[in-house]
Structure 1
Amino acid sequence: MIKRVVNIDPEIMSGTPVFNGTRVPIKNLFDYLETGDTIETFLEDFDGVKKEQVVKVLEMSHELLEKSTKQLNENIA
């Protein structure tokens, strides 16, 4: 089981959020997906990142989006 997926450390990539245990920015995953690349292609290009980490980051992003949408809708009403 993966405990910590994202690392934010001012001494690693100037504090850019990266996959824990790597210097691979989380943004790279979304850049790949936005251009139509698959998760498998991303993992091939960044072999230090584990599939479980990618899945967890996507789940976390989904949860954040749902919470943000709920809060925005509550503020509009």
Structure 2
Amino acid sequence: MILEFSENWSIPALLLGWLIAVAIRLATGSATVATISAAGLVAPLAADMSTSHAALLVLAIGAGSLFFSHVNDAGF
């Protein structure tokens, strides 16, 4: 489903991974849950990527999971 959504809307995989991680982070408040869930959701997109692009996708998901981090958060 994520693969079809990405192709139909022409959203780059890096941006989609970041947006999913941000959405889950804002919904749950947990960076760990956001990272693991976003990685699982965009895994079909990473299967067709080169190694360097997959590494950039990992960094995009990690950056998205730290979005809206408060001062008392461990990610801050």
Same fold by TM (over 0.5)?
no
Q: Which has the higher strand share?
A: 1
Bigger RCO (CA 8 Å, 6+ sep): 2
- Output the TM-score relative to the length of structure 2: 0.35
* Structure having the larger proportion of residues in helix: 2
